[in-house]
Amino acid sequence: MSNNHFVWDSYSDQPHVIKDRAYKKAMRRKESKDNIKLLFTSLFVLPISIIFMKLFKGKVKTTNKDFIGLGVNLDKGNFQQELVEELGVKNLVIRLPLNDIKNILSYVEFANSFNKNEKKNILINIIQDRENIENHEILEKNFELIFQNFKDISTEFQIGTTINRLKWGFFSTLEFMNFYMIAQKVKEKKYPNIKLLGPSVIDFEYYYNARAMFNSKKIKYDIISALLYVDRRGSAKNTQYGIFDLKNKIDMLFSLVKLSPKAKSDDIYITEVNWPISNTAPYAPTSEKECVSCEVYTKYMLEYFEIARNSKKIKRVYWHQLIAPGYGLVDNRDEKILKYPQFYAFKEMLKNG
């Protein structure tokens, strides 16, 4: 991130919580008008989406090979290519932080390195920072640079991520929408064939979806993206607010997509999900309370993919991520590669159907 309020945690691959309370309070106050709009939009939209969610039927017919995706990261090293080939996964998502845009050619080379044996479907996840959120002139130039450099590698770009967590940089849904619309402007001007993903809300906080998907802005999402974690509930079959297990969370998200005038298609990608692994602190992204053993992780992972695919409402699920000692498929601590049990289950899943 671009200033000292945003500090990256290299163990869990996410920003630390912002410690400066005065800064957070001031930024929330600055964006309070949009948060009021979020509240009123949610009170109107969300009940309607719940009423209709069982009426909309999914039509996605796919194979595990097309349905399953995986996150790979530049900073995790160049043995990931071999692991990807072993798994047989063809859908990859790669993070590209705007605060590291000066090294864009390294990301281009990294993405290209997976195409040697078989061309992969690569989604580029463009991660925001405050400089680019606040300076749209810089942002437009950076989107142009990214789309130009990746034009022969990818046609899909997730514009921003985790928009409902202050530590990731956005202080309102309006800030995200203005950010996204710069990407849309560049696309419409020069790159009409690419697809843009948003709004990338994490967890079951669909009031942010309501604001991002029902508004007066001239905003259009080619594909709806979500980071639909359920790990704090344990199994994907466990419920939140009484009735919302993973299946019903998917049904409600699909209902929002069907009702929204901002969604150009019914396509939904879940671009990030996992469970934290016990006894891996500080690499686990949550407290030990939410962590599970590798055996339970494997069970939950298989359940998640089965539920999402059987819904026929999700086009793709990207597991986050290949290498991460605290939540991934592979442990790379002590400069050794240890394949967790979930690595082999993921591989088997890709083979079957």
Per-residue pLDDT tens over the stretch 40-67: 999 999 999 999 999 999 999 999 999 9
CA separation (Å) from 229 to 153, 200, 292, 314? 28, 12, 14, 14
- pLDDT band for 335, please (50, 70, 90 cuts): confident
Cβ–Cβ under 8 Å, residues 89 and 340: no
What per-residue confidence (pLDDT) applies to 117?
85
In a domain, 232, yes or no: yes
Q: Residue 92: left if φ>0, alpha if ψ -120 to 50, beta else—which one?
A: beta
Residue 14's beta-bridge partner residues? 9
Q: Using the CB atoms, write b or e for 239-261: b if 16+ within 10 Å.
A: eeeeebbbbbbbbbbbbbbbbbe
Residue 281 maps to a domain: yes
* Residue 9, in any domain of the structure: no
Find, among 235, 337, 221, 341, the residue nearest to 271 by Cα: 221
Residue 353: pLDDT over 80: no
7 within some domain:
no
Report the alpha-carbon distance of residue 280 to residue 42 in Å, rounded: 38
Give the structural domain span for 242: 20-351
Is the pTM higher than 0.85? yes
Distance in angstroms (rounded) separating the CA atoms of residues 224 and 265 = 8
The verdict on residue 295 lying in a domain is yes
Which neighbouring-strand residues pair with 243? Answer: none
pLDDT score for 1: 43
Task: Enumerate residues 6+ apart whose C-beta is below 8 A from 165.
Answer: 202
Q: In this predicted structure, what is the pLDDT of residue 311?
A: 98
Structure tokens at 304: 């998640």
* 329 domain residue, yes or no: yes
Question: What digits encode the pLDDT tens for the residues 27-40?
Answer: 999 999 999 999 99
pLDDT at 159 over 50: yes
For residue 11, tell me if it sits in a domain: no
Q: Which CATH number is 124's domain given?
A: 3.20.20.80
Per the structure, how many domains does the chain have?
1
Q: What is the CA radius of gyration of the chain?
A: 19
Q: Which residues have CB under 8 Å from 78's CB, separation 6+?
A: 110, 113
Evaluate if residue 3 carries a pLDDT over 80.
Answer: no
- Return d(Cα 176, Cα 295) in angstroms, integer: 38
Residue 2 has pLDDT above 90, yes or no: no
Tell whether 1 is covered by a domain: no
